[in-house]
């Protein structure tokens, strides 16, 4: 079976640089890795190859010439062939233009190499763009079915169908899909293998074929690159941070603060800690800065009182107790 | 490319997100945003409601702000399918050309949106978290996080229609329900056969413990790797029980199998916006933080004073998260 994996080289860093003119990310000069979900896509293809004899795994990527390195990492894990779609004319493409370019290159490889890819694997999304769009758009452009968010697959060669377990928000969907099929992989799908020595040596020697604009005479140039992209990035900015963090000095203070915050959201959950009281306990309000009219703060503030006892304490007793402690505390200052 | 006559493209359309004939809450959030956009550009809100038996839910959508609800009913639409939904929607849009099209960024919505864009050859912006309108140009400004939430990108689609985007669930507030609102509910013909849908649903296996929806929780008690052990992590349930919260976790804990996938919070899990988010032993990887930034108040407990999470919290406690947890449980007994 002819299997194809689409991969993307992505920056592996939180350090972001932007091109001030195009507002696009500068992808050069940053440490690069193969998009982690794509490694699961590759593993899925290699597993199918292990299962079905005479299968072949091809890998394709679109990017600058240095993306060859990402393809070599796939070859080192057992991929048979690799192509890089690379041309300045393809730069600045959004997901629609990217998927059209990749789909055109896939058709080009199929024709020149006389192959028909029956399964195409992509990662569920790339960790830089996080769009999850290029896979389905490639499937649409090629006119084939898709199974996104795959976390388990089993290929039946005889019936030419694939049973796919898809991840949803509320459960798993079991779906049967025909070949040819495009699958997008989640990290649940498998555990990617490590490079093997033999394949690593072969990967170093492998000459990765480049696919440029010139190689694809049938491509519609109005649908590629920045010019062929319907969407435009108007501006890119850092999300605003929250206001300055208030650091609490101790475990006790922190625990108290959290309980107080929780009390304000769900006071009903603290009802059993409430001391029945008709009158507000005002006398002790300034006790150590603790608002004793708030039962949670009070419960959290009084360490010496076993929580069970708090319920038993009568309001006046508690107030008197607190007031006494308050007087005691002030005693030293006098 | 590009379309010469934008005049034909009118109104703000929403694709209702239905799971087995039940409308997903994100649909209401989308209608709220659609209303806002429609008001800015002076157009109507139209909702596409697909399913086998969904007609009676149409009135509900009107109450939340839809002017027109198009109902498409067919046994082939009982379950979501890429092929069925794409065909019905794009066929309809040949005659009713939307100016703006909103789709929920659920797994199904993110399966569907790029497929529609491929067929209609229009732009689509994934997983938007901010929607604004450039009233001068009449363009929707789609803002979305990228690079794992490190940056926000504002994107427009100036020369193509429909302007389309998927919108992240649980980011936008639901609009007010108004029973006095009126609108048109239009039953539409469905031209769909079994042959149009290449995939076949065999089964649906719900997650075993979805007794609550973490996205609707007011208080979330979340654990990260700093919890140390599953035994420690399980103590969070005691706290959650006592204060009326729900337990969530970071991705590594889900991968360890300590908690099920529906409770994973972050870029690849759920986006949450509780009133109170309590982070125990969470380092604050941007992938996690981007999923909690909508929280009203964030409290972080971590023994590393330089942990990234403190940059994103309202309150921070440097200390052992088990000490804090045990102290709180002590007070709550």
ipTM of the complex: 0.82
| Poorest-pLDDT segment among A143-152, A220-229, A232-241 | A232-241
Of B134, B164, B196, the domain-final residue = B196
Question: Does residue B101 lie in a domain region?
Answer: yes
Q: How far is B233 from chain A (nearest CA, A)?
A: 17
Give the Cα separation of A23 and A29 in Å (integer).
17
Token couple for B84 = 């069925």
**3-state DSSP assignment of residue B291:** coil
Give CA separation, B214 vs A62, B209, B220, B248, in Å: 38, 12, 8, 7
Domain that holds residue A110: 2-223
Q: Confidence band (pLDDT; 50, 70, 90) for A304?
A: very low
Count of beta carbons in the 10 Å neighbourhood of residue B209: 10
Examine the domain organization and report whether B21 and B170 are in the same domain: yes
Secondary structure percentages of chain B, helix, strand, coil, to 5: 35, 30, 35
In a domain? residue A176: yes
CATH classification at residue B39: 3.40.50.620
- The DSSP-derived string for B239-279 is HHHHHT-EEEE-HHHHHHTSS-GGGBBSTTSB----SEEEE
Task: Pick the residue from chain A with its C-alpha nearest to B292.
Answer: A242
Above 70 in pLDDT, residue A154?
yes
Assess whether A145 and A218 both reside in one domain: yes
* Residue with the two structure tokens 């000490």: B323
Q: Does residue B201 form part of some domain? A: no
Q: Tell if the CB–CB gap between B146 and A145 is shorter than 8 Å.
A: no
> Does one domain contain both A198 and A299?
no
Judge contact between A103 and A141, C-beta under 8 A.
yes
Q: Does A248 touch chain B (CB under 8 A)?
A: yes
Candidates A141, A229, A239; nearest CB to B118? A141
Q: How many CA atoms lie within 13 A of A257 on its CB side?
A: 22
- The verdict on residue B182 lying in a domain is yes
Residue B35 and residue B172 in one domain: yes
Residues B182 and B255 in one domain: no
Q: Is the pLDDT of residue A292 over 70?
A: no
Alpha carbons B124 and B89: distance in angstroms, whole number? 15
Q: Among residues B305, B303, B333, B227, which one has the least CA distance to residue A259?
A: B333
Q: Which of A231, A129, A31 is nearest to B151 (CA)?
A: A129
Query: Which of B3, B134, B146 is the best mutation test for A, with the most CBs of A within 10 A?
Result: B146
- B233 and B173 in a single domain? The answer is no
CA A84-A87-A92 angle, 5° bins: 105
Indicate whether A148 pLDDT > 80: yes
Q: Does A96 fall in a domain?
A: yes
Q: Give the Cα separation of B305 and B301 in Å (integer).
A: 9
Nearest residue on chain B to A302, alpha-carbon basis: B331
User: B104 burial class (0-12, 13-18, 19+ CB within 10 angstroms)?
Assistant: buried
pLDDT greater than 70 at residue A276: no
SS3 string, chain A, reads CEEEEEECEEECCCCCCECCCCCCECCCCCCEEECHHHHHHHHHHHHHHHHCCCCEEEEEEECCHHHHHHHHHHHCCCCCEEEEECCHHHCCCCHHHHHHHHHHHHHHHHHHHCCCCCEEEEECCCCCCCCCCHHHHHHHHHCCEEEEEEEEEEEECCCCEEEEEEECCCEEEEEEEECCEEEEECCCCCCCCCCCHHHHHHHHHCCCEEECHHHCCCCCHHHCCCCCCCCEEEEEECCCCCCCCEEECCHHHHHHHHHHHHHHHCHHHHHHHCCCCCCCCCCCCCHHHCCCCCHHHHHHHCCCCCHHHHHHCCHHHHHHHHHHHHHHHHHCCC
Is residue B161 located within the same domain as residue B93? Answer: yes
Same domain, A101 and A162: yes
Same domain for B183 and B67: yes
Does residue B2 lie within any of the structural domains? Answer: no
Q: Is residue A235 part of a domain?
A: no
Residue B153 lies in a domain: yes
**The domain boundary residue, chosen from B164, B196, B228:** B196
Indicate whether A30 and A72 sit together in one domain: yes
CB spacing of B316 vs A140 below 8 angstroms:
no
pTM for the structure as a whole: 0.79
Q: What's the gap in Å between the CA of A31 and the closest CA on chain B?
A: 14
CATH code, domain with A165? 3.40.50.620
Q: How confident is the model at residue A84 (pLDDT cuts 50, 70, 90)?
A: very high
- Of B147, B164, B196, the last residue of a domain is B196
Give yes or no: residues A219 and A90 share one domain.
yes
A173 contact partners, CB below 8 Å, separation of at least 6: A165, A166, B201, B203, B204, B205
Instruction: Tell me, yes or no, whether A119 and A178 share the same domain.
Output: yes
A246 CB neighbour count, 10 Å cutoff: 11
- Please list the residues that pair with A173 across neighbouring strands: A166, B204
Indicate yes or no: CB of B198 within 8 angstroms of CB of A177: yes
Question: Are residues B283 and B238 both part of a single domain?
Answer: yes
Give the tokens for residue B123.
């732009």
* Cα(B301)–Cα(A221) distance, integer angstroms: 54
Give me the pLDDT at residue A298, please: 47
Residue A205, Cβ neighbours under 10 Å: how many? Answer: 7
- The number of distinct structural domains making up chain B is 2
Lookup: tokens for A127: 């960790």
- Is the domain of B222 the same as that of B269? yes
**For residues B303, B309, B315 and B317, what is the CA-based torsion angle, rounded to 10 degrees?**
0
Cβ–Cβ under 8 Å, residues A82 and A90? no
State the CB neighbour count (10 A cutoff) for residue A170.
Answer: 16
Domain with B127 in it: 8-196
Is any Cβ of chain A less than 8 angstroms from the Cβ of B148? Answer: yes
| Packing angle of the helix pair A95-113, B107-120 (nearest 10 deg) | 70
- CA dist list (Å): A81 to A67, A194, A199, A240: 15, 18, 12, 45
Q: A108 and A39, same structural domain?
A: yes
The chain A residue lying nearest B309, using CA atoms, is A245
| Nearest-CA distance B60 → chain A (Å) | 23
CA distance A123 to A80: 19
Q: Distances in Å between the alpha carbon of A235 and those of A238, B125, B144?
A: 10, 14, 11
H helix or E strand, kind and range, residue B282: none
Closest of B248, B254, B226, B215 to residue B310, by C-alpha: B226
Radius of gyration of chain A (CA): 31
Mutation choice for B interface testing from A172, A243, A258 by most B CBs within 10 A: A258
The pLDDT of residue A16 is above 70: no
Structural domain count of chain A = 2
Q: Which residues of A touch B159 (CB under 8 A)?
A: 230
Chain segment A32-56, per-residue pLDDT in tens: 899 999 999 999 999 999 999 999 9
In a domain, B206, yes or no: no
CA–CA dist A300, A334 (Å, integer):
28
Cβ of B147 under 8 Å from any chain A Cβ? yes
Eight-state DSSP code of residue B180? T
Question: Which chain A residue's Cα is nearest to B329?
Answer: A255
Cβ atoms of A1 and A117 within 8 Å: the answer is: no
Q: Which H helix or E strand runs over B23? A: strand B22-23
Question: Predicted confidence band at A21 (pLDDT cuts at 50, 70, 90)?
Answer: low
* Other beta carbons within 10 Å of A139: 27
A134 in reach of chain B (CB within 8 A): yes
CB contact under 8 A, B198 and A258: no
Do B156 and B303 have their domain in common? no
CATH assignment of the domain containing B245? 3.40.50.1220
Last residue of a domain, one of A205, A223, A241: A223
Interface of A with B in 269-298 (CB under 8 A): 269-270, 273, 296
Three-state helix/strand/coil letters over B101-117: EEEECCHHHHHHHHHHH
Q: Are B176 and B82 in a shared domain?
A: yes
Cβ of residue B261 closer than 8 Å to a chain A Cβ:
yes
Residue A132 contacts B, CB cutoff 8 Å: yes
Asked if residue A230 is part of any domain, the answer here is: no
Place of tokens 């290699």: A46
A231 located within any domain = no
In terms of phi and psi (left: phi > 0; alpha: psi -120 to 50; beta: otherwise), the region of A289 is left
State the smallest CA–CA distance between residue B88 and chain A in angstroms. 15
Q: Is A241 a member of any domain?
A: no
- Counting beta carbons within 10 angstroms of the beta carbon of residue A309, is it exposed (0 to 12), middle (13 to 18) or buried (19 or more)? exposed
Pair B191, B238 in one domain: no
Contact residues, B window 18-77, toward A, CB-based 8 Å cutoff: 19
**Average pLDDT of the residues in A270-275:** 68
pLDDT in tens, chain B (333 residues): 445 578 899 999 999 999 889 999 999 999 999 999 999 999 999 999 999 999 999 999 999 999 999 999 999 999 999 999 999 999 999 999 999 999 999 999 999 999 999 999 999 999 999 999 999 999 999 999 887 677 789 999 999 999 999 999 988 989 999 999 999 999 999 999 999 999 999 999 987 665 567 888 889 999 999 999 999 999 999 999 999 899 999 999 998 999 988 899 987 788 888 999 999 999 988 788 888 988 889 999 999 998 889 988 999 999 999 999 999 999 887
Residues B328, B182 share a domain:
no
**Does residue B202 form part of some domain?**
no
On whether residue A237 sits in a domain, the answer given is no
- CB distance A254–B315 less than 8 Å? yes
Q: CA triplet B59, B63, B64: central angle to 5 degrees?
A: 120
Contact B223, B280 (CB under 8 A): yes
């Amino acid at each position: 079976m002819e299997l194809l994996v689409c991969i993307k080289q992505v920056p592996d860093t939180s350090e972001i640089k932007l091109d001030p003119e195009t507002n696009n990310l500068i992808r050069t000069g940053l440490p690069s890795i193969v998009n982690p979900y794509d490694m699961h896509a590759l593993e899925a293809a290699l597993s199918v190859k292990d299962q079905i004899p005479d299968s072949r795994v091809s890998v394709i990527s679109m990017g600058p010439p240095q993306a060859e390195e990402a393809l070599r990492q796939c070859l080192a894990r057992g991929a048979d062939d690799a192509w890089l779609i690379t041309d300045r004319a393809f730069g600045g493409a959004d997901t629609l233009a990217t998927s059209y370019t990749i789909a055109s290159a896939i058709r080009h490889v199929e024709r020149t190499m006389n192959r028909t890819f029956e399964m195409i694997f992509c990662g569920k999304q790339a960790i830089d763009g996080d769009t999850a769009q290029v896979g389905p758009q490639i499937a649409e452009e090629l006119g084939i079915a898709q199974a996104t968010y795959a976390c388990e697959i089993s290929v039946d060669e005889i019936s030419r169908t694939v049973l796919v377990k898809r991840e949803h928000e509320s459960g798993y969907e079991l779906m049967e899909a025909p070949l040819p099929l495009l699958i997008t992989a989640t990290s649940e799908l498998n555990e990617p293998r490590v490079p093997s020595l033999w394949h690593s040596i072969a990967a170093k020697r492998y000459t990765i074929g480049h696919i440029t604009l010139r190689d694809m005479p049938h491509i519609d140039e109005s649908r590629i690159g920045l010019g062929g992209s319907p969407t435009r990035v108007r501006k890119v900015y850092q999300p605003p941070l929250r206001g300055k963090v208030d650091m609490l000095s101790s475990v006790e203070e922190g625990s108290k603060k959290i309980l107080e915050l929780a009390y304000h959201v769900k006071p009903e959950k603290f009802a059993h800690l409430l001391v029945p009281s008709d009158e507000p306990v005002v006398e002790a309000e300034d006790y150590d800065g603790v608002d004793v009219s708030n039962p949670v703060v009070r419960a959290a503030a009084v360490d010496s009182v076993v929580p069970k006892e708090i319920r038993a304490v009568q309001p006046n007793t508690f107030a008197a107790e607190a007031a006494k402690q308050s007087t005691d505390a002030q005693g030293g200052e006098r | 490319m590009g379309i010469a006559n934008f005049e034909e493209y009118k109104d703000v359309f929403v694709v209702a997100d239905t799971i087995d004939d039940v409308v997903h809450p994100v649909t209401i959030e989308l209608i709220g945003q659609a209303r806002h956009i429609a008001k800015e550009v002076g157009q109507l809100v139209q909702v596409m409601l697909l399913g086998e038996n969904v007609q009676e839910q149409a009135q509900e959508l009107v109450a939340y702000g839809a002017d027109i609800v198009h109902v498409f009913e067919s046994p082939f639409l009982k379950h979501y399918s890429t092929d069925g939904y794409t065909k019905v929607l794009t066929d309809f849009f040949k005659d009713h050309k939307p100016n703006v099209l909103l789709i929920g960024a659920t797994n199904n919505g993110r399966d569907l949106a790029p497929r529609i864009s491929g067929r209609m050859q229009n732009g689509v912006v994934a997983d938007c978290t901010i929607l604004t309108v450039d009233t001068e140009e009449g363009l929707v400004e789609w803002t979305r996080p990228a690079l794992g939430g490190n940056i926000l990108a504002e994107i427009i689609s100036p020369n193509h229609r429909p302007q389309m985007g998927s919108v992240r669930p649980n980011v936008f507030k639901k609009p007010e329900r108004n029973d006095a609102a009126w609108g048109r509910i239009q039953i539409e013909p469905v031209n769909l056969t079994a042959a149009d849908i290449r995939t076949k649903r065999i089964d649906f296996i719900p997650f075993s413990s979805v007794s609550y929806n973490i996205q609707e929780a007011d208080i979330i008690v979340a654990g990260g790797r700093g919890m140390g052990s599953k035994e420690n992590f399980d103590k969070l349930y005691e706290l959650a029980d006592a204060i009326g919260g729900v337990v969530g976790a970071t991705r590594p804990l889900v991968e360890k199998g300590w908690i099920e996938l529906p409770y994973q919070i972050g870029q690849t899990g759920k986006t949450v916006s509780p009133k109170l988010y309590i982070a125990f032993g969470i380092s604050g990887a941007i992938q996690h933080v981007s999923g909690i930034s909508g929280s009203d108040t964030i409290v972080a407990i971590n023994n590393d004073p330089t942990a990234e999470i403190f940059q994103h919290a309202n309150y921070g406690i440097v200390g052992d998260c088990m000490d804090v947890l045990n102290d709180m449980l002590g007070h709550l007994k």
